[in-house]
Structure 1
């Protein structure tokens, strides 16, 4: 039997509306939660109904050191004043050999925050950037 890759990913590739925004070192917040409402049925004190109501999606934040791909993000940000519209995004987890491990498609994506590097000559740190996306569901995209 062949060994199974445990799913370790070194980096993530982000595309928004088909625009490749490059590779990112970290991806945080990808997930959803089904909210439930409790309903206590009269006369049955030992049971509480758990009724699903809505699905809540967390914002996704990707971060990386500054790279030549930062220029792609700058071009994307320059278009925002013309109008923010919901789009689609793909986040792909890549193995060290750049083979795709898995990909998630996000629906109704809006860029809600971009943070650039802080420059402080007193501190010797890697200049980083991060991008935060809000979304309202997953698209059917496989591995």
Structure 2
């Protein structure tokens, strides 16, 4: 963030995605145009207490996480694509860790951008691959969508 006392919320377009465990490499960075599915929801169970009719107790049960969806321009061959195809086509899944890093747009020139916040997804595996429709009347880039299931995520502030 800039050296001032005024706080500005971070921009949502300055981020990176890292895959940990692709082909034995520690981190493999990949560029995406969109990341969605960063949410968590805890379910509640209602319990009726004997003799109390005014209200019901709500107790937490489990936390649900939606699938992580990544979108990018179609890449014909990559380690990520090979991992997805092996899982979906051969039903041979190798879970990975995936990290999404929200970056500081005000980093000093010539330096690596600082991570403002990161989300690390554990035991990630592919559940869906899709390509946007082809349209001969448009001049858009072919976009692929990758949907990933995971067990849970951890949030970390800074780097």
Q: Normalized against structure 1, the TM-score is what? A: 0.81
**2:122 aligned residue:** 107
Cα distance change on mapping 1:117 and 1:73 into 2, 3 Å: farther
Partner-residue secondary structure (3-state), 1:24: coil
Q: How many residues align?
A: 142
Q: List alignment gaps of at least 5 residues for structure 1.
A: none
Partners of 1:95 and 1:141 in 2: CA distance: 15
Partner-residue secondary structure (3-state), 1:120: coil
| Correspondent of 1:10 among 3, 9, 13 | 13
**C-alpha displacement of 1:78:** 4.5
Instruction: Provide Cα deviations, 1:59-82, integer angstroms capped at 9, x if missing partner.
Output: 1111123468x6343233354337
| Correspondent of 1:73 among 80, 86, 89 | 80
**2:99 aligned residue:** 90
Q: Normalized against structure 2, the TM-score is what? A: 0.74
**1:118 aligned residue:** 133
Asked if 1:36 corresponds to 2:51, the answer is no
CA RMSD of aligned residues (A): 2.5
Q: List alignment gaps of at least 5 residues for structure 2.
A: 23-27, 108-112
Structure with higher strand content: 1
